[in-house]
Structure 1
Amino acid sequence: MTSQTLAAVTTGDGVRIAYRFDGDQNKPVLLLSNSIGTDLHMWDGQVPALTEHFRLLRYDARGHGASDVPEGAYSLDRLGRDVVELLDALDLQRVHVLGLSLGGIVAQWLGIHVPERVDRLVLSNTAAHLGPADQWDQPIAELLQAPDMRATAEMFLHNWFPASMLQGDNEIVEGFRRTLLATQRQGVAGSWAAVRDYDLRRTATLIPNPTLVIAGEHDTVTSADHGRQLAATVPGARFTLLPTVHMANIEGQTQFLNTVVAFLTEQS
């Protein structure tokens, strides 16, 4: 396996987006897109298995990790165009896309607006809409007024993982906690604004790419019903329900990987 250290591209609006490759450059490229409050390391545990089949392209969304953190509300359109500009800069015409949570929302946008850049889509623990919109205003305001990320970090962790993983000093959970505490509040608030303002319930019907929707049976962020509704909206989409909370790639790693790899390597 060949690996590349962190690099970056600059978008048209002057924001630096950090990325890295892992795996054999002769294999098909699989783009991985992350949840709010995480960076590209949220996929570290899945890299060994995925690089058996793919060259992985991971990136830090604006507001997160080693990417820039512009102030103000972000939009789904801008988050999607960040990915398109990244693919353009790397001269990648067509890739598989796997997105979880906000990453799954960005993946939907790609399937709607630039389907020619996408081979197969995996939409994990995500939704076509998370409303009503005004439910996000108070959390955004409170986060921007908070002294730090501690309270928000604990909220995320309790939404992401089962109680069994939150007990004691779970090494995986502690890694996510460190990432959350190091994340700038504006990055989370800006991303929440993108979630507040998006609605793909109609346009998701335009996705022409082969699509797999994965949901968590116990997910309270993007529910199993959200997943079912999304799978029913995207033409021909498949639906898989895993016995997990929100971070299905972590909690249900083996089943998650088996499901994803089988779908992405299936012959048309």
Structure 2
Amino acid sequence: MPTLKIRDLDQVYYDQKGEGPDVLVITGTGSDLRRPPTPLDSPLTKHFRVTTYDQRGLGQTSKPDDGYTMEAYADDAAAIMDALELAPCPVLGISFGGMVLQNLMARHPGKVSRAALWCTSPGGAGGASYPLDTLSPDLTQEEKFRTMIKLSDNRVTDDWFEKDVEKVEVLRKRADKTEFYGEHNYQHGMAMQIQARKHHDCWEALAGIDTPALCGGGTNDDIATPEAMRNLAERMPNAELRLYDGGHMFFIQVPEAYDDLIAFFKAS
């Protein structure tokens, strides 16, 4: 298992796949590389050497008691890029990973050659992603699963869960991480990530970041809304926006999204 020791983290689990120029992928809320599909299963690996990792408090990376801030997640990413000699390179940030990427560019200029900001938000006056910290802790696992699915794609209705049973089971298994709850600080790490997430605000900093950026979102996403994605793209001096007919996971629903991303990264 490839690991790094950086900053206050004794172990950061990372993995790489593919050949070609380096691309770093920063994943989203609750991401655990033991739960596929991961960025290493994406079309990116046919064109680039893709590196991704479990963020602090998640997956097989160290889960400290404290230190969970947006600044810390960004500084972790910078340290990983230094340790693996990736910078400068294109970076894809997905959902929460897009928030980390914004903070990374603000705090560590020059490390990111091109930025892809998928299903995320700028925070502050530009709008925040759905406040996951407000979901009731009294929700059952099934209630939380259904709530998240409907937020991810507002076309989903209650009867869909009974109509497309096979697909629902795939999504339910992917979302279920209870088998890992016995690991030290596993649930704590996920909860602290959500607490850090609600403080994300790069609105002021984005106006001064001229890194070429591709902002991608889904037209039916109630987590990172199309409006927030538009604000994000308009705020950055050198950004373009592409909205796809999909939800929060539009890049799985619409294959052309990866075609656009690959072309954007290759343009560097």
TM over 0.5: yes
CA 208–45 in structure 1, closer or farther in 2 if over 3 Å, else same:
closer
Question: Which residue of 182, 201, 204 corresponds with 1:202?
Answer: 204
Q: Which residue of 2 is the match for residue 157 of structure 1?
A: 149
Q: Which residue of 2 is the match for residue 255 of structure 1?
A: 256
Q: Distance in 1 between matches of 2:151 and 2:60?
A: 24
Deviations 1:148-204 (A, max 9, x none): 866544433333356388531226414422347646321221111111112111111
Q: Which residue of 2 is the match for residue 233 of structure 1?
A: 235
Question: Which residue of 1, 21, 40 corresponds with 1:28?
Answer: 21
Give the superposition deviation at 1:129: 0.7
Q: Which residue of 1 is the match for residue 13 of structure 2?
A: 18
Q: Distance in 2 between matches of 1:259 and 1:194?
A: 30
Aligned residues: 254
* Aligned 8 A contact 2:113 2:212 in 1: yes
Q: Is 1:169 the counterpart of 2:172 in the alignment?
A: no
Structure 2 SS opposite 1:225: helix
Q: Distance in 2 between matches of 1:50 and 1:192?
A: 28
* Aligned 8 A contact 2:25 2:39 in 1: no
Q: Distance in 1 between matches of 2:237 and 2:92?
A: 18
Question: Which residue of 210, 215, 218 corresponds with 1:216?
Answer: 218
Q: Which residue identity lines up with residue 262 of structure 2 in the other structure?
A: V
Q: Which residue of 1 is the match for residue 53 of structure 2?
A: 59
Deviations 1:212-246 (A, max 9, x none): 00111010011000000000001120000011111
Q: Output the aligned Cα RMSD.
A: 2.8
Q: Distance in 1 between matches of 2:149 and 2:9?
A: 32
Q: Which residue of 1 is the match for residue 267 of structure 2?
A: 266
Give the superposition deviation at 1:125: 0.5
Identity among equivalent pairs (%): 24
* Aligned 8 A contact 1:38 1:179 in 2: no
Q: Which residue identity lines up with residue 176 of structure 1 in the other structure?
A: R
Deviations 1:29-77 (A, max 9, x none): 1111111022235553773521221000011111221112223461110
Structure 2 stretches lacking a partner, 5+ long: none
Q: Distance in 1 between matches of 2:250 and 2:57?
A: 23
CA 247–44 in structure 1, closer or farther in 2 if over 3 Å, else same:
same
Query: Could you state the TM-score of these two structures normalised by the residue count of structure 2?
Result: 0.83
Q: Distance in 1 between matches of 2:65 and 2:204?
A: 30
Q: Which residue of 1 is the match for residue 115 of structure 2?
A: 121
Q: Which residue identity lines up with residue 256 of structure 2 in the other structure?
A: Q
Structure 1 SS opposite 2:46: coil
Q: Which residue of 2 is the match for residue 3 of structure 1?
A: none
More helix as a share of residues: 1
Q: Which residue identity lines up with residue 26 of structure 2 in the other structure?
A: S
Alignment of 1:55-204 (within 5 A): 55-72=49-66, 74-129=68-123, 138-139=134-135, 143=137, 151-161=143-153, 163=156, 167-170=164-167, 172-179=170-177, 182=180, 184-204=186-206
CA 185–92 in structure 1, closer or farther in 2 if over 3 Å, else same:
same
Q: Which residue identity lines up with residue 224 of structure 1 in the other structure?
A: P
Q: Which residue identity lines up with residue 94 of structure 1 in the other structure?
A: P
CA 207–42 in structure 1, closer or farther in 2 if over 3 Å, else same:
farther
